[in-house]
A = this chain, B = another copy of it.
Amino acid sequence: MATRRLDNNSLAAGMTSTATRQFPCDKCPLQGLSHLQKHEKEEIAFLSGFKTGELVADAGTTVLVEGANSAHLFTVLSGWGFRYKTLEDGRRQILNYVLPGDLIGLQGTLMKEMSHSIEALSPMILCVFQRDKLPALFRNFPNLAYDITWIASREEQMLDEILLSVGRRTALERAAYLFAFLFQRAQSVGMVKNNKLTMPLTQQHVADTLGLSIVHTNKTLKKLAARGALRWLDRGCEIVDEDLLLEVSKWQGLPETPRPYI
């Protein structure tokens, strides 16, 4: 059976039939992940109504655009993406990456408009929520509201760490931190098989994440590869030695606590 494809138009038109869903909430692919918290039955029932459909995005697709005032609220079900901002003259900064279990578009839902964009790095499947039901969620499911606040707080925590990295770590430390960070995040949602992981990145993405030029990024990655920490493949990065990355970056790693998702 082919993957069902919804473009933004059919999204806007509103897709309410739960029958055609590949991933009904009670069979959410995220619920089996040991690092994610389980939901109560009533919560799942509510979420089934909160969910309005699924979105499949190709690699390279812009899922959310900066400045859009009618942004949707999504949870990532599968795939890799990234959040970024740009300056007028095109300089781009990647702010963070989004992986399965992450909630995106909250800013666009709460504030007037999104202040960043999100693009798919690999094919992604997203769970689409009805933003105008968010107040109902806060009214009737305080635990879910608490979870959303928790998720927002976690994003801030990640950003703090990334900002420390970009501001104060050397290029080599910064690169090592980035790959250790992404490796651990991917691991926590079951994306690492046989202790190996290939990330769907170009060196341009890495450069825009670290705040470096692409040339210097290339030379920095070569150093990490020479030390045996990673291997750069055609259009992606394979992590070889996580411990070495942790050592080089002087980073203590992610907390182990199970976290909520919506």
Residues of A within 8 A of B (CB): 83, 85, 87-89, 91-93, 95, 106-107, 110-112, 115-116, 135, 138-139, 142-143, 145-146, 148-150, 152-157, 159-164, 166-169, 208, 210-211, 250, 255, 257
Contacts and interface: CB of A to CB of B under 8 A. Distances in A.
Nearest to A138: B142
A84 to B, nearest CB: 9
The 6 A-B pairs with the shortest beta carbon distances in the complex, nearest first, are A167-B211, A138-B142, A152-B152, A93-B167, A93-B164, A91-B168
Contacts of A169: 87, 91
Contact of A110 (B153, B166, B250): B153
Could you say how many copies of this chain the assembly holds? 2
A153 B95 contact: no
Contacts of A87: 164, 168-169, 250
A210 B88 CA distance: 20
Contacts of A168: 87, 91-93, 211
A230 B146 CA distance: 43
17 contacts: A88-B250, A106-B149, A107-B153, A110-B149, A111-B150, A111-B154, A115-B160, A138-B142, A138-B143, A142-B145, A145-B145, A145-B149, A152-B156, A159-B159, A163-B166, A166-B211, A167-B211
Contact of A163 (B95, B143, B157): B95
Contacts of A159: 156, 159-160, 163
A148 to B, nearest CB: 6
A40 to B, nearest CB: 15
B157 A156 contact: no
A93 B152 contact: no
Given A160-B85, A160-B95, A106 B153 contact: yes
Contacts of A211: 166-168
B164 A95 contact: yes
Contacts of A154: 111
A238 to B, nearest CB: 25
Nearest to A66: B160
Contacts of A162: 163
Contacts of A88: 250
Nearest to A113: B255
A208 to B, nearest CB: 8
A188 to B, nearest CB: 15
Report which residue of A116, A148, A153 has the largest number of chain B beta carbons within 10 angstroms of its beta carbon: A153
A148 B107 CA distance: 13
A152 B159 CA distance: 12
